[in-house]
Amino acid sequence: MADIPDDIRLSESSVPEEIDLSFHLVDATGEALRAGRADLVPVLMRQHGKGIVDGQAEPIDDTVAATAVGAIHTEGRGRLRVLAARVSDEATTDVGPVSWVMLADGWHSLTPHRVDDESRLTVRRTHPADLASELAPVPPG
């Protein structure tokens, strides 16, 4: 279980419940912030900030999006990364990594994916009880 430690005080996050954005934007923003170059974030938003949407695929305001991208890096309080595998008598196959980051309001799953030729990342608010279903998805049918 990925319970939130007792010494962590949750508060409001600048990251929406769900946001889908360019992986390159998230990565480059993190590098800029770690290098003390927050002044580059507006430039990165102009270069990679198109197509940022919420969980209903609605566009997110540029100011809200820029704040959220920065908060993905600045609010971090912990991280959980698990590599899951399907094991049977016949074979062992990788299911893939599951990554969660603890932000100001709790756990958020990090789900990389591709849209056309663009690498993207969905950041979604999640709960500790959701870990098992993310590790062992049940196929439809």
**Domain parsing of the chain, residue ranges:** 18-76+110-125
**Alpha helix stretches (DSSP H) within 16-127:** 23-34, 41-48, 62-74
Q: What is the structure's pLDDT at 33? A: 95
pLDDT tens digit sequence for 94-133: 556 778 899 999 999 998 888 999 899 999 999 877 777 7
Q: pTM higher than 0.85 for the full model? A: no
| Helices 62-74, 41-48: inter-axial angle, 10-degree rounding | 120
pLDDT of residue 46: 92
29-78 pLDDT tens trace: 999 999 999 999 999 999 988 899 999 999 999 899 999 999 999 999 88
For residue 39, which phi and psi values (nearest 5 degrees)? -65, -20
Residue with tokens 């969660």: 100
